[in-house]
Structure 1
Amino acid sequence: MRKMIIAATVFMMTVAAQAAENSKVGFVDMQKAIQATSAGKKAKAELETEFNKKKKDLEKKEADLKKMGEDLEKKKSVLSEDALGKKQAEFQEEMIKYRDIVGKSQMEIQKKERELTAPILTKMKTVIGKLAKDKGYTLVLENNQGVLYSTPDSDLTDEVIKAYEKEK
């Protein structure tokens, strides 16, 4: 029984060594690849336009809040305790609304980014699959994080970008 276990273990190790010997592993920096494509550049420009519009609105609201806070501070000494309490409550309510708007804006920008990059990512995965198959890769990793060493030819990013641009 023991000889069978040893034989099975040796066999498994031999198969694993042969599989590793025949394996070809590459990686793609997806962030770089998406941003380098024409579709990625277009999506980035659209996202920046959306972001700048929201940023302008938020800056206006922030300036209004700052003015409101300064006015409250100036009038603090002349207002009655009751009136001051109401003004402070009003200011706090506006601050909460502002924070909600900031959070909502961030979520909207993230959602827009996902909407714009999803079709690019889907096509990118198809291109990577084709390229990997054509070049004999058994495994393609996203990014090279966690990889302590790789040969320069393991980075498929530039090839993926070129192949993506050729696909229509």
Structure 2
Amino acid sequence: AVAAPPAAPAGARRQHRREVYDTFRRLGYDYGAPLRGVRWAEVGPGAVRAFLHVDQDWGYGLSPALLDCGMQLSILLAAEEAAGGPVFVPYHLGRLSVVRAPRDEAVYCHCVVRPGGSQRTRMYDFFFTDEHGDVLVALEEVVSVAIDAKGAGAPAPGPAAAAPFTVVELN
């Protein structure tokens, strides 16, 4: 059974789309328009709740853009400590549960920190819900790892010049 998602984080501060993506850019994450689906986010200690909307599914029953936008919320949880720190990317998914794919409806995502991370790893659960709070999709035990991205915060000289990255440490 899929765990119930948490309520809105206690003491959360709402950030609107522009502020969210300005924060991401400052930290070295630059998302193109199809992946800027976080419309607002309520960020609290150890949890984020956000409203998501994406325009593309690329022909998939479950939009990869929607899943990516939900996973972006983990960046907001580490935003304070991440300034000048490593960039984290998803590395491992413990469990994926799909109750049903969202169809032309409001979708919210709840991102919750899991215990057990380290200095170079972070662990999260992501619950995608409908407007009633019913779980549509759950990504549990997601591990993100720090990468060594040369010039991650600097714009690349061209589309083919993306900087390579390497995983520097897992524990």
- The TM-score normalised by the length of structure 1 is 0.21
Please identify the structure whose Cα radius of gyration is greater. Answer: 1
Higher helix share: 1
